[in-house]
Amino acid sequence: MAPEDPLEAALAWSEEGDGAAIATVIRTWGSSPRPVGSLLAVRGDGAFVGSVSGGCVEGATIEAARGAIEDGHTRDLKFGVADEDAWAVGLACGGEVRIHVLPLTAQRREMLRQAQEARREGLIARVNMQLADGDLTWTPTHTRSPSALADDELQFALTLAPPQRLLIVGAVHVAQALAPMAAQAGFAPTVIDARTAFADPARFPTIALDTRWPDAALADLKPDATTAIVVLTHDPKFDDPALNAALASPAFYVGALGSKRTHAKRVERLKAAGISDDDLARIRAPIGLAIGAMTPGEIAVSILAEIVRDARA
């Protein structure tokens, strides 16, 4: 999980004896700034990780969480445009939000730890929260169902899914900008390059590296429908095997760096290798949204924007 993962932070604080609570957006109305399932972890001294409102009601939620940590009782908060308290804390965006605050007991911490471990192993965990008493259970699932409040409003189901993956073939300058940017956006990036001088941890601190040839790496990494694959090498001996493997997978995004002329030649080679027209049409090339990007950083922005757009489609 990312270092700023709210659950990871709350579990660490609780295990260290500092006291912790999890605030969860359980319902929204109108143009609430954060979706259902958004999390905010709060430590006993007021330190926090995550967000339940993009900043609008964080202060009030943190104070409620500190109170919950002290007395051990859950809190149910509601802020909206018709609520004077909401205006006081800044929720002037025209929406409403309901937030449930859960202090971590030993039982709750154990349930969340198990769910988090399953998530870390690539499973999807469905955490069932009884709002009246804070009792938690969890079950593994293969479906990324959205987090949701039950019709009777007595139970909330929180879906904890592994982050979407971004597999970047080519440890080039664009990859140096794209990988950390993608991590900040909630993806789990891996940079693949058999050239160890390129795939050097000093060039990619905190980013997972794979120094196998792309076809071997992708065969082992098994991209699925929550995976994006970006090919950046400009070298057919890397590009072509990578794209062959990518197009044989259900990856939701496949993009390749290069001009229209470069891509036309690439398409000819892939066709000759037996790739169908339908599969070739999946390749986003030239890669990224057309924003006039020039520098590696700008190109990375355009690529990530296109990936996010496709992920949300």
pLDDT, mean of residues 75-89: 66
Centre a 10 Å sphere on the Cβ of residue 82 and count the other Cβ atoms it contains.
8
The closest of 97, 37, 100, 101 to 65, measured between CA atoms, is 101
CB distance 296 to 177 below 8 Å: yes
Mind listing the pLDDT tens digit for each residue in 178-211? 999 999 999 999 999 999 999 999 999 999 999 9
pLDDT for position 149: 96
- For residues 161 and 138, give the distance between their C-alpha atoms in angstroms, rounded to a whole number: 13
Res. 67: pLDDT tops 80 = yes
What was the pLDDT predicted at 3? 47
Render pLDDT for 123-141 as a digit per residue (tens, 0 to 9).
999 999 999 999 999 999 8
Give CATH for domain 165-312: 3.40.50.720
Residue 229 β-bridge partners: 167, 254
Contacts of 171 (CB under 8 A, 6+ apart): 191, 192, 193, 195, 198, 199, 200, 203, 204, 209
**Is residue 87 predicted with pLDDT exceeding 60?**
no
For the chain, give every domain's residue range: 6-160, 165-312
